[in-house]
Amino acid sequence: MSATTSSSTLQEPLTPFAVLDRSVIDANIDRLERRLADLNLPLRLHVKTSKSVDVTRRVHREGPQPIAVSTLAEAEYFADDGYTDILYAVGLAPAKLDRVVALHARGVDLSVLVDNTDQAEAVAAASRVSGHRIPALVEIDCDGHRSGVRAESPELIEIARILHDGGAELRGVLDHAGESYFSTGAEAQARDADAERAALITAAQRLREAGMPCPVLSSGSTPTAHSPSEKGGMTELRAGNFVFFDLVMAGIGVCDLDDIALSVVVTVIGHQSGKGWILTDGGWMAMSRDRGTAAQKIDQGYGVVATLDGEIIPDLLMTGASQEHGILELRHGSGGELPELPVGTRLRVLPNHACATASQYQEYSVVDRTGDPTRILENWPRCHGW
Amino acid sequence: MSATTSSSTLQEPLTPFAVLDRSVIDANIDRLERRLADLNLPLRLHVKTSKSVDVTRRVHREGPQPIAVSTLAEAEYFADDGYTDILYAVGLAPAKLDRVVALHARGVDLSVLVDNTDQAEAVAAASRVSGHRIPALVEIDCDGHRSGVRAESPELIEIARILHDGGAELRGVLDHAGESYFSTGAEAQARDADAERAALITAAQRLREAGMPCPVLSSGSTPTAHSPSEKGGMTELRAGNFVFFDLVMAGIGVCDLDDIALSVVVTVIGHQSGKGWILTDGGWMAMSRDRGTAAQKIDQGYGVVATLDGEIIPDLLMTGASQEHGILELRHGSGGELPELPVGTRLRVLPNHACATASQYQEYSVVDRTGDPTRILENWPRCHGW
């Protein structure tokens, strides 16, 4: 699977299909890289949003750098492209250790994540049996969002001890401020970032005091990575969504609508004039069922609608979705006028959640708004499954 | 792509993966077929739920029968398997006519759906240019749910006239009581079914009075197809979801939890004991973001949890989802006790919406609970994309 060049425009592929604007991606990358350069802090790009080596190459222009993945399928796909420093950033199901070991046998430095003694014992046992010292990070829970042990908990030491003494490689600690996706504004995000950092520093200190190594302190999320908070003590930042951004990130103030690189092209297939509805051929299969902005101050429905050129149409939202039908209407109370969009008109819809929408597609059609914004330059495939 | 046999069990493939119980599918098919036999009404199976020829063969044991599809990719995939009577049941984007004509050139009787004069003119023009009289149905709006023209509207005659006089084949009228997915109980569903039927009969009568043919009256949805209402005058019923059923259908009383054929196998990867959470490796990528039961009397979260054998665990729900993490907890207020499910335990999760969950997978692992419910008998692939 690799990129193919194209000589068509966004008027040609049958709808729905996913579009990326590579100039927007480049600007998003540039923004975070400038920030990390100031901090002298390396980025471990989370590739679960794009799952595309072509997108990742926009970040890693000089060749593979450290990445985080959400599935072993991603790890294998990126390993095929020469990536060797890969963190599998989801708590490990022990049955997956054979595939982890197989990646080590290929020369990939794949680290895994654990937050309990059962997992730690399984990783230690697989290390002893395979002869590969599998590197593992202990997941720290900094905000009660999901998984991980508390930095102050006795379990942290217990888990680390099993790894360290049992034949695995205790590589360090990791956390993720998942709650920051619900924190609006720079101040709230800075508090999340501070909590992320403080938890790791505490955890690392406890490990060292217990006589164990803790070379890696890995934290991050797109909101906290972009927060202008103190990062001292971290050894790497993880972020992934920022490459594409989306309406949820715009809703909490991490980006503007203009920074969203991913959209879905749909075609108008009808109207219900009495109700002010425009019907399209892009439903939830095209956008995903993600309604992340429903919980935000401004609910963007299933997406914000733009022209095929990428110009946002004021107050036009995708408000309804069947499997292969979308309903567009004006934002309730906007007082605007429904634009005339005849059957056959193509539009772009910006998604709530880039990770979810992108996952509905096998490839991306790539444009660049610094030139003709509807000219497709390349098609970039992406990986799937587990 | 065709079925492959398997000699493994549900303990073997790495999680998450999708499971079908074929004995449940067969019972679901048998139930609807008995009803339709009483009515002497043919079924046009909607294949958008399974997108699998192997599932469809459970219905069409003697060979291909009429089907409805939601994408041209499905039409082509089923045409490859010998299907020749296919209804593309989503309002047509005119640019798709080349692919429609290509299917006709292969000998497929593919009918299309229109609800406005622009579409009708495009179908008529493509018929004249290609020399294939493309069959089209006019979509009737029976409940204000989505698309279609009202049975009493002047547009109905106008659209039909363009098709009939313009070189296309006016094949009839179609409706779909989409609102029936929100109607709980047999009485409400019978009202929806009556409205579906009445709208088609009115529309057909008006076409015939205007001197045009209307051989096909096609209606249906899983709830209305199962409703014991009068169906006289219809020429076919469409239904698709019933093959798998799901929590939304159970929530409105169309099926029981036991009738749900699709589930997702996940693995326990950790616990947050203080909160009563069990973490799994099945998140929204595994289940989809569909939360159809959120609007129902009983909110089932992201899914109802069962053992690997398929026994439902009382009050255990998947309440939270990240991309690759699921959170299981007891239904709030249930007063039950969280079962002990150690790291590594495999569970099945029953989905809100079978169409959405199934679309997250490239294939199904097929079991049969009349024998060993964890033995995988076959793997059935499915089609994707547009």
- A270 shares its domain with A198: no
DSSP secondary structure code for residue A181 in this structure? G
Whether residue B357 contacts residue B289, with contact meaning beta carbons closer than 8 Å, is answered with no
| Final residue before a domain boundary, out of B183, B210, B244 | B244
Cβ separation of B270 and A144 shorter than 8 Å? no
What lies within 8 Å, CB to CB, of B95 at 6+ separation is: A14, A15, A267, A344
Do A246 and A353 touch, CB atoms closer than 8 A?
A: yes
Cis before residue A314, ω within 30 degrees of 0?
Answer: no
If asked whether residues B194 and B263 sit together in one domain, one would say no
Residue B33 within any structural domain of the chain? yes
Are residues A228 and A102 part of one domain? yes
| A344 exposure class (CB count in 10 Å sphere: 0-12, 13-18, 19+) | middle
Q: How far is A290 from chain B (nearest CA, A)?
A: 5
CA A6-A11-A16 angle, to 5 degrees, is 95
Name every chain B residue with its beta carbon within 8 A of the beta carbon of A94: 343-344
Question: Does residue A331 lie within any of the structural domains?
Answer: yes
Q: From B278, which residue of chain A is nearest by alpha-carbon distance?
A: A147
Rounded to a whole number, what is the distance in Å from the CA of A90 to chain B's nearest CA? 7
Please tell me what DSSP assigns to residue B372.
-
Nearest CA in chain B to A343: B118
User: Is residue A47 situated within a structural domain?
Assistant: no
Chain A with chain B: Cβ pairs closer than 8 A: 149
Of A205, A239, A273, the residue that ends a domain is A239
Q: How far apart are CA A269 and CA A325, in angstroms?
A: 9
Length of chain A: 386
Contact flag B343-A118 (C-beta cutoff 8 Å): yes
Per the structure, the count of domains in chain B is: 2
* Residue pLDDT, tens place only, A104-116: 999 999 999 999 9
Say if the ipTM goes beyond 0.90.
yes
Q: Which of B95, B327, B353 sits opposite A267 (nearest CB)?
A: B95
- The distance from CA A73 to its chain's CA centroid, rounded to whole angstroms, is 16
Check B325 against A290: CB less than 8 A apart.
no
Question: Is A17 among the domain residues?
Answer: no
**Over 80: is that where the pLDDT of A371 sits?**
yes
DSSP A132-165: ---EEEEEB-SSSSSS-B-TT-HHHHHHHHHHHH
Q: How far does the CA of residue B340 sit from the closest CA of chain A (Å)?
A: 14
Q: Residue range A292-304: average pLDDT?
A: 97
Is pLDDT of A2 > 90? no
The pLDDT assigned to B335 comes to 86
Claim to verify: residue A188 and residue A275 sit in the same structural domain? no
User: Taking CB atoms and an 8 Å cutoff, what residues of chain A touch B285?
Assistant: 70, 359
CB B174 within 8 A of CB B140: yes
Half-sphere exposure of residue A64, counting CA atoms within 13 Å on the CB side?
Answer: 19
Domain of residue B369 covers: 257-381
| Residue contact A342–B290, C-beta within 8 A | no
Which 8-state DSSP code applies to residue A331?
P
**Same-domain check for residues A139 and A262:** no
Give the closest-approach CA distance of A38 to chain B in angstroms: 31
Are B51 and B190 in the same domain?
Answer: yes
Residue in B94, B289, B324 closest to A90 by CB:
B324
Distance from C-alpha of A283 to C-alpha of A320, rounded to nearest angstrom? 8
Residues from chain A that touch B386, judged by Cβ atoms under 8 A, are 14-17
Distances (CA, A) of B63 to A97, A311, B37, B330, B341: 44, 50, 18, 45, 45
* Residue A281 covered by a domain: yes
Q: A386–B147: do the CB atoms touch at under 8 Å?
A: no
**Inter-chain residue contact A48 with B119, CB threshold 8 Å:** no
Interface residue of B69, B123, B289, B362 to substitute, partner A, most A CBs within 10 Å: B289
**Stretch (H or E) spanning B199:** helix B186-209
**Residues of chain B found within 8 Å of residue A385, distances taken between Cβ atoms:** 361-362
Give the end of a domain, one of B214, B244, B274.
B244
Among the partner residues A178, A271, A325, nearest to B116 by beta-carbon distance:
A271
Give A1's pLDDT tier (boundaries 50, 70, 90).
Answer: low
State the nearest Cα–Cα gap between A224 and chain B, in angstroms: 17
Minimal CA separation from B115 to chain A, in Å: 7
- Cα(A373)–Cα(B125) distance, integer angstroms: 31
pLDDT along chain B (386 residues), means of 10: 86 98 98 92 97 97 97 98 98 98 98 98 98 98 95 98 98 94 89 94 98 97 88 94 97 97 98 96 98 96 98 97 98 92 98 98 98 97 96
Cβ neighbours of residue A148 closer than 8 Å, sequence gap 6 or more: A115, A139, A140, A141, A142, A175
Flag whether B4 is in a domain: no
Q: State the best of A90, A182, A222, A287 to mutate against chain B, taking most chain B CBs within 10 Å.
A: A90
The per-residue pLDDT for A229 is 84
> DSSP letter at B289?
S
The CATH number of whichever domain residue B173 belongs to comes to 3.20.20.10
One domain for residues B143 and B53: yes
State residue A99's pLDDT score.
Answer: 98
A217 shares a domain with A286: no
d(CA B49, CA B18): 13
Of B269, B284, B386, the CB nearest to A91: B269
- Nearest beta carbon to residue A93 from set B267, B291, B361: B267
Segment A156-196, tens digit of pLDDT: 999 999 999 999 999 999 999 999 889 898 899 989 999 99
Specify the CATH number for the domain of residue A325. 2.40.37.20
Q: How far is B146 from chain A (nearest CA, A)?
A: 8
pLDDT digits (tens, 9 = 90+) for A328-363: 999 999 988 999 999 999 999 999 999 999 999 999
**Most B CBs within 10 Å, among A70, A137, A141, A147, to test the B interface:** A147
Question: Which residues of A fall within a CB distance of 8 Å from B70?
Answer: 285, 323-324
Taking the CA of residue B38 and the nearest CA in chain A, the distance in Å comes to: 31
Q: What is the pLDDT of residue B1?
A: 61
What average pLDDT score do residues A8-34 get? 97
Optimal mutation site among B181, B244, B322, B363, interface A, most CBs of chain A within 10 A:
B322
Does A261 lie in the same domain as A235?
A: no
Q: Are residues B139 and B196 in the same domain?
A: yes
CA B385 to chain centre: 16
Least Cα separation, residue B325 to chain A (angstroms) = 7
- Best A101, A246, A343, A347 member to test B by mutation, with max B CBs in 10 Å, is A343
Residue-level pLDDT at B2: 77
Looking at residue A6, what is its pLDDT? 83
Q: Which of A32-41, A275-284, B290-299, B356-365 has the lowest mean pLDDT?
A: A32-41
**Res A96: pLDDT:** 98
Whether residue B355 is contained in a domain is answered as: yes
Q: Do A290 and B279 touch (CB under 8 A)?
A: no
Question: Which residues of chain A are within 8 Å of residue B141 when distances are taken between CB atoms?
Answer: 272
- Which residues are CB-contacts of A97 (< 8 A; sequence separation ≥ 6)? A122, A123, A126, A134
ω into residue B16 within 30 of 0, thus cis? yes
Who among A15, A90, A146 is closest to B93 (CB)? A15
Cα distance from B76 to chain A (closest Cα, Å)?
Answer: 14
| A278 within 8 A of A260, measured Cβ to Cβ | no
- Do A222 and A158 fall within a single domain? yes
Which residues of chain B lie closer than 8 angstroms to A147, CB-CB? 269-270, 272, 279, 325
- Distance between CA atoms of B323 and B327, rounded to whole angstroms? 11
CA distances from A312 to A255, A263, A303, A305, B196 (A): 15, 11, 11, 6, 38
Same domain, B204 and B292: no
Provide the pLDDT for residue B107: 98
Chain A residue numbers touching B271 (CB-CB < 8 A) = 116
Asked whether residue B2 is domain-assigned, the answer is: no
Angle at alpha carbon of residue A249, lines to A244 and A254, rounded to 5°? 100
